[in-house]
Amino acid sequence: QIDYTGTEPSSPCNKCLNVSWDSTSPCTCTINFTLEHSFESNVFMYYGLSNFYQNHRRYVKSRDDSQLNGDNSSLLNPSKECEPYRTNEDKPIAPCGAIANSMFNDTLELYRIDNDTRTPITLIKKGIAWWTDKNVKFRNPTGDGNNLTALFQGTTKPVNWPKPVYMLDSEPDNNGFINEDFIVWMRTAALPTFRKLYRLIERKNNLQPTLQAGKYSLDIAYNYPVHSFDGRKRMILSTISWMGGKNPFLGIAYITVGSICFFLGVVLLIIHHKYGNRNTSADIPN
């Protein structure tokens, strides 16, 4: 994982540290890193945030699920929970609420450095959200799916967004509310340190590893300011097995608890043998 917040002056992203949300010119930086081992099978690319309380109560409430579900009346009249991100200049905001407003908008691109040639690595942006989210919970307003601009007529973009919601992606089935990055962001995290799935890197064929060991560079369009609340941003590359990604806690815990159980079992067996029999023999009447 690579932390690219840029708080240290030596980091290439230091210049972008104090970027604000409405700066017109995007700030880009590049970080080079090396992979020691190849990554077999599918590789998942995450962005991680620290000290970002997505489980704040007021924050969690600040959304309108019926608007996100495509309800036309809620589209133009968002719920009161979204205050103060409900209307902007008398026009209803779609999507409303603080969660949507704070959507992560850095762009990350990965290049492989191969003897001074940079080859981009294909990042797949579909399939990162839950199926139920994409197909049930989040729906665009009813109407012609191809002309989202017209569907969102009468609304305005969230305050801190550079682009309105119907311009999140060119593809119609990833645009509007059903944009997967948006959906992933809207699924609030439980803890202040979290990571969210950003892109997938699919395995090309069985012979070659997905990501070979070697040098890589990460191009960042640094749009998301976190320095003001001492947050940190990271990029994480990980493979996952059936049990999930790298988190040794569960394995260690199981081994510990298992050995405690075994130990207790042995102790109780000894005690039962020594004292249990003695007790029962006292019951035999003379």
Partner 1 sequence: GEQRSDVCDAALLEAAQRDKDPVLREFLRLLALCHTVMVEDRGDQLVYQAASPDEEALVLAARNLGYVFLARTQDSITIRELGRTRTYEVLAMLDFNSDRKRMSVLVRDPQGTIRLYTKGADTVILERLRRRGPKETLTERALDRFAEETLRTLCVASREVSEAEFRAWSRRHGEAAVLLQDRARELDRLYEELEQNLQLLGATAIEDKLQDGVPETIQLLKLGNIKVWVLTGDKQETAMNIGYACRLLTDDMEILEEKEVSSGPTLPSSHSEILQAHWESNNNLSGSGDAPCSSHLSQQCPEAPCHKRRAIIVSGEFLDKLLHTGEVQKEKKGWPWRWLRCDGAEASQDQADVVEKAFVDLATSCQAVICCRVTPKQKALMVQLVKKHKKAVTLAIGDGANDVNMIKTADIGVGISGLEGLQAVQCSDYALAQFSFLQRLLLVHGRWNYLRVCKFLRYFFYKTFAGLLAQVWFAFHSGFTAQPLYEGWFLALYNIFYTAYPVLSVGLLEQDVSAKQSLEFPELYVVGQQDELFNYRVFGVTLLHGVGTSLVSFYIALWAFEDHVGTKAVGDYESFSVTVAVSALLSVLVEIVLDTKYWTVLSLLMVTASLLLFCLFSFLTQSVDAFRIAPAIFRFPDASRNALTDPYVLLVVLLSLVVNTLPSLTAHAFSAILGRGTTQQRIHLKAKRDPEPSVELRSHVPRGSFRRRSSYAFSHQEGYAGLITRGDSLRARATHGT
Q: How many CB atoms lie within 10 A of CB 131?
A: 8
Q: Which of 24, 25, 117, 249 binds partner 1 (CB under 8 A)?
A: 249
Q: How far apart are the first and last CA of the chain?
A: 75
Complex with partner 1: residue 196 or 227, whichever CB lies closer = 196
What track of x and - describes contact with partner 1 for positions 94 through 133 (by CB under 8 A)? Answer: ------------------------------------x-x-
Cα dihedral 152, 155, 160, 161 in deg (nearest 10): 20
Tokens found for residue 225: 């300011």
- Judged by beta carbon, residue 150 or residue 250, the one nearer partner 1 is 250
Least separation in angstroms between residue 31's CB and partner 1 is: 20
Is the separation of the CB atoms in 151 and 144 below 8 Å? yes
Distance in angstroms (rounded) separating the CA atoms of residues 35 and 214: 5
Compute CA distances 106 → 19, 84, 223, whole Å.
Answer: 12, 24, 5
DSSP structural state of residue 168 = S
Q: How far from the centroid of its chain's Cα atoms is residue 269's Cα?
A: 49
In the complex with partner 1, the residue whose CB is nearer, 162 or 246, is 246
SS3 277: helix
Which tokens is 4 given? 């690219």
Query: How far does CA 213 lie from the centroid of its chain?
Result: 25
Should residue 285 be labelled a site residue for partner 1 when binding is judged by CB under 8 A?
A: yes
The smaller minimum CB distance to partner 1, of residues 58 and 163, is found at 58
- Of 114, 88, 100, nearest to 161 by C-alpha is 100
Binding mask 170-189 for partner 1 (x = CB under 8 A): -----------------xxx
Site string for partner 1, 36-75 (x = CB under 8 A): --------x-x-x----xxxxxx-x----xx--x------
Q: If binding is defined by CB under 8 A, does position 77 make contact with partner 1?
A: no
Which own/partner pairs from 79-83 qualify as long-range (CB within 8 Å, at least 24 positions apart)? none
Least distance to partner 1, CB of residue 229, Å: 11
Q: How far is the CB of 114 from partner 1 (least distance, A)?
A: 28
Rounded Cα gap, residues 182 and 105, in angstroms? 10
Between 136 and 213, name the residue whose CB sits nearer to partner 1: 136
Q: Which of residues 2-41 bind partner 1 (CB under 8 A)?
A: none
Q: Any contact of residue 232 with partner 1 (CB under 8 A)?
A: no
Residue 207 interacts with partner 1 (CB under 8 A)? no
Count the site residues for partner 1 by CB under 8 A: 53
- In the complex, which residues of this chain contact partner 1 (CB under 8 A)? 44, 46, 48, 53-58, 60, 65-66, 69, 79, 130, 132, 136-137, 187-197, 238, 240, 242-245, 247, 249-250, 253-254, 257, 260-261, 264, 268, 271-272, 275-276, 279, 282-283, 285
